[in-house]
């Protein structure tokens, strides 16, 4: 199902970007947080990719649906708080129309997140995901991240649905 990420030097954010490029992702739609900030700049510099910076995560979700409707493979990069605030669009647009969307989500409010005010969002994240029927997985920091990205993208496409991969700071912060 997966192939190794070429030229991986163990830098997980680099592996995420190279995997997206290899899989033909032509666009990323994002609302940044402190972990996502630098990788978004790198994506912006990629000649084969378009970065769209949205003002709100539900808006970002709809932009991503439009990009995919137009035939371009697209990833959504947001914080977990952003997924909490896109619930209506998730169920009535992305899931209802069965858009395959790869969602790369910074998982704030976990035990290894030093910022205390993210804790309430961390506590609510997975119960809310389950409640709205959003397919998801947590990344495994002990395994290479590239194949995990590819598996999540495959689940989105072959399940015809959004699929969220919850990422740790080591995964996504450049």
Partner 1 sequence: MVTNARPTRAEYYKALADNLPAQALVVTSLGNASYLWAALHHTPENFYFEDAMGLTLPLALGLAVAQPKRRVIAMEGDGALLMHLGSLVTIGAVNPSNLTILLIQNGVHGASGGQALTNATLDLAALARASGISHAENLSQPDSLGERMSSKLRRDGVDVLVLATEPDLEVVRPPVSLDPVGTKQRFMAAIGAPRYVPTLFGGGMLAQT
What are the residues binding partner 1 (CB under 8 A)?
A: 1, 23-24, 26-27, 29, 50, 52-56, 58-74, 88-89, 92-93, 96-100, 150, 154, 157-158
CB closer to partner 1, 8 vs 154: 154
- Helix, strand or coil, per DSSP, at residue 165: strand
Tell me the closest approach of the beta carbon of residue 64 to partner 1, in angstroms. 6
> What DSSP string describes 18-59?
HHHHHTTEEEEEE---TTTHHHHHHHHT-TT-EEEE-SSHHH
Give the shortest CB-39-to-partner 1 separation in angstroms: 20
Q: What share of the chain is helix, strand, coil (3-state, %, to 5)?
A: 45, 20, 35
Residue 103, SS3 per DSSP:
strand
Residue 75 structure tokens = 């990833």
Q: At 8, list the tokens.
A: 């991986």
57/171 with CB nearer partner 1 = 57
Minimum distance from residue 133 beta carbon to partner 1 (Å): 16
Nearest CB to partner 1, comparing residues 11 and 96: 96
Smallest distance, partner 1 to C-beta of residue 166, A: 22
Task: Specify the residue, 69 or 115, whose C-beta has the smaller distance to partner 1.
Answer: 69
């Amino acid at each position: 199902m997966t192939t190794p990420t070429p030229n991986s030097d163990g830098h997980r954010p680099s592996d995420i970007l190279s995997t997206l490029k290899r899989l033909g992702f032509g666009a990323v739609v994002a609302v940044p947080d402190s972990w996502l900030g630098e990788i978004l700049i790198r994506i912006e510099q990629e000649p084969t990719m378009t970065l769209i910076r949205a003002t709100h995560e539900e808006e970002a979700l709809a932009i991503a649906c439009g990009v995919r409707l137009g035939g371009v493979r697209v990833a959504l990069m947001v914080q977990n708080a952003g997924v909490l605030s896109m619930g209506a669009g998730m169920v009535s647009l992305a899931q209802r129309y069965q858009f395959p969307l790869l969602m790369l989500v910074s998982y704030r409010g976990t035990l290894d997140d030093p910022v205390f005010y993210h804790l309430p969002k961390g506590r609510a994240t997975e119960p809310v995901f389950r409640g709205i029927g959003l397919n998801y997985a947590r990344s495994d920091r002990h395994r290479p991240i590239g194949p995990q990205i590819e598996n999540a993208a495959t689940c989105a496409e072959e399940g015809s649905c959004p699929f969220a991969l919850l990422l740790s700071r080591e995964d996504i912060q450049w």
